[in-house]
Amino acid sequence: MERIYLDYAATTPCDPEVLKAMEPYFLEKFGNASSIHSFGQEAKKGIEDSREVIAKFLGAKPEEIIFTSGGTESDNTAIEGVALANKAKGSHIIISAIEHHAVSEPCKFLEKLGFQTTQVKVDKYGLVDPQDVKKAITDKTILISIMHANNEIGTIQPISEIGKIAKEKGVTFHTDAVQTVGHIPVNVDELNVDLLSMSGHKFYGPKGVGVLYARKGTRLERYMHGGDQERNRRASTYNAPGIVGLGKAIQLCQKNMAEETKFQTKLRDRMIKGILDKIPETVLNGHAQIRLPNNANVSVKYIEGESMLLNLDMLGIAASTGSACTSTSLEPSHVLLAIGLPHEIAHGSLRFTLGRWSKESDVDYLLEHLPKIVAKLRAMSPLYEKK
């Protein structure tokens, strides 16, 4: 059976060139990068070369790059690190209502320690209004964290404008750029950010490795305690193969981005139009233009996302839903609720995300089979009968 992967936002396969670049660091260059001997120094060289590539890509300095175990650790370090380092100054944090759990959960944890969080609302497209952020700032605010693009609906936030406001008010500003790095241009000065998270496995690098960019002078308590790696900012033996793979993945994205964006945007729009045209009573979630080039998120009324996913999977198509499947609860995604979808429509949502190896024929296959699946499920749906 043909297998079609339309879930690149969940994770990407490793690019074969990335794997090739990593291989020597598992085998002959396996040394501990903190060791003085030549084995260690070879590993260190690979790490520092990667650091330079990543810094350049982000418009940052090499010493502002902290290697972590992924997006989640970068987000946790940014949120808890800033909160704990600025405790004397204030205890108020601002995030949006549609952040990834890697941002909202550390905030919840900090609330137990006496910090307060304000969640600014988003509009029906999932956009944050920078003026709402401005209004939420108090003299106790120590951190603002707003994601660059949303992982479910793909909406891209006005980060640069929010960053300008944060700078004017002297508040540290973090963005979770896990969904944008490698897919659209990301420059820390243009975005006016102090801290930025990224993750290797979202742009054809390996899993379990990421970066926290921290602008020079940003007050940050360490998150991982132990050895003195990363200028005493993050302990644990260097993941040399992962870090080298991350650098290689960035280089490939840099080389391919313009072309990939163009191709994926066209394919995305054909996929969205195809779904909306071929299946009655479907809606697009997120903004039609201000969205990631690879993201399509639609709600199909009267049926459940999970049933559609299972049926798609039987035909070899891998996608994702914003409904209960991501957790053990029956609550639909907080993102879909935040953009104002009623529960029953949020439950019927599907996310299709494209990537480096997506083809026109993948979308043809989807557009051939999805309408049939929907028709079959609707025929069995009591909600559809009642309408």
Task: Please give the residue ranges that form the binding site for ligand PLP (CB under 6 A).
Answer: 70-72, 75, 100, 102, 147, 151, 176, 178-179, 199, 201-202, 210
How many of the other CB atoms lie within 10 Å of CB of 74? 30
- Minimum gap (Å) between residue 210 Cβ and ligand PLP: 5
* b/e burial code for range 137-161 (CB count within 10 A of at least 16 → b): beeebbbbbbbbbbbbbbbbbbbeb
Instruction: Tell me, yes or no, if 253 is annotated catalytic.
Output: no
Strands lying side by side in the sheet with 295-300: 282-284, 295-300, 349-353
Non-local (6+) Cβ contacts of 255 within 8 A are none
Euclidean distance between the first and the last CA atom of the chain, given in angstroms as a whole number: 36
How far apart are alpha carbons 264 and 12 in whole angstroms?
Answer: 15
Residue with the shortest CB distance to ligand PLP: 71
Give just the sign of the alpha carbon dihedral 202, 206, 209, 213: negative
For 41, the 3-state DSSP assignment is: helix
Position of tokens 């003085």?
36
The residue type found at 177 is A
Give the containing element (helix H, strand E) for 282.
Answer: strand 282-284
The residue type found at 23 is E
Complex with ligand PLP: residue 193 or 373, whichever CB lies closer: 193
Complex with ligand PLP: residue 130 or 200, whichever CB lies closer: 200
Complex with ligand PLP: residue 102 or 319, whichever CB lies closer: 102
Complex with ligand PLP: residue 201 or 356, whichever CB lies closer: 201
Complex with ligand PLP: residue 199 or 251, whichever CB lies closer: 199
- Minimum gap (Å) between residue 72 Cβ and ligand PLP: 3
Complex with ligand PLP: residue 142 or 149, whichever CB lies closer: 149
- Minimum gap (Å) between residue 380 Cβ and ligand PLP: 33
How many of the other CB atoms lie within 10 Å of CB of 325? 14
Non-local (6+) Cβ contacts of 256 within 8 A are 356
How many of the other CB atoms lie within 10 Å of CB of 329? 7
- Minimum gap (Å) between residue 157 Cβ and ligand PLP: 11
The catalytic position among 14, 107, 253, 325 is: 325
Nearest to 58 by CA among 222, 212, 218, 229: 212
- Minimum gap (Å) between residue 224 Cβ and ligand PLP: 14
Give the containing element (helix H, strand E) for 66.
Answer: strand 65-68
Nearest to 12 by CA among 238, 259, 336, 252: 252
Complex with ligand PLP: residue 212 or 374, whichever CB lies closer: 212
How many of the other CB atoms lie within 10 Å of CB of 46? 23
Asked whether the beta carbons of 250 and 55 are under 8 A apart, the reply is no
- Minimum gap (Å) between residue 107 Cβ and ligand PLP: 14
- Minimum gap (Å) between residue 79 Cβ and ligand PLP: 12
Q: Hey, which residues are catalytic here? A: 325
